[in-house]
Amino acid sequence: PELPFAFPINPLYDTEFKTGTTLKYTCLPGYVRSHSTQTLTCNSDGEWVYNTFCICKYQHLFFSFAFPAPFLI
């Protein structure tokens, strides 16, 4: 699946995936990791389940200045 903030580490040639398939992604340029797990998992409904794991680099900088540690989100 296509994400606006990341792309798959390995090229995807398939369009159908089995339940439980896990794909690894990496952040696009301009984005930084916000979560340690950068994977998507296909669930039994055929939907991809994931936590947003990349945020805009500039948003990250804003939060770093606006909310110094330990208040980072």
Take residue 52 and report the two structure tokens written for it: 């947003």
Q: Residue 73: its pLDDT value, please? A: 43
The whole-number pLDDT of residue 31 equals 92
Strands, DSSP E only, in 1-73? 6-8, 22-27, 31-33, 39-42, 48-49, 54-56
CA distance 38 to 42: 14
pLDDT in tens, 22-68: 999 999 999 999 888 899 999 999 999 998 899 988 755 545 444 44
Distance CA 45, CA 68 (A): 40
